[in-house]
Homo-oligomer: A and B are copies of this chain.
Amino acid sequence: MPRPRWKPTPHQLMILQDLYKKGLTNPNSCQVQMITANLSMYGKIQWKNVFYWFQNHKARDRQKMRKQIFQQMQKYTNADENPPSPSPSPSPSAAVNYQLYPNSPTIFLHQVEATDASPQMMKYLWENCMMRTNGRDWILMKDDGSSAHCSNNRPIRTLELFPVATTGFKD
Contact B149 A47 (CB under 8 A): no
> Contact size class for A?
20 to 34
- What is the copy number of this chain in the assembly? 2
- Chain A 98-118 interface 0/1 with B at a Cβ cutoff of 8 Å (1 = within): 000000000000000000000
Asked if B135 contacts A138 (CB within 8 A), the reply is: no
Docked complex: A133-165 residues within 8 A CB-CB of B: 134-144, 146-153
Known: A148-B151, A149-B150. 18 other contacts (CB 8 A): A3-B134, A47-B140, A48-B138, A135-B143, A135-B144, A136-B143, A137-B142, A137-B143, A138-B140, A140-B140, A140-B148, A142-B150, A146-B152, A146-B153, A147-B152, A148-B150, A149-B151, A150-B150
Residues of A within 8 A of B (CB): 3, 46-48, 134-144, 146-153
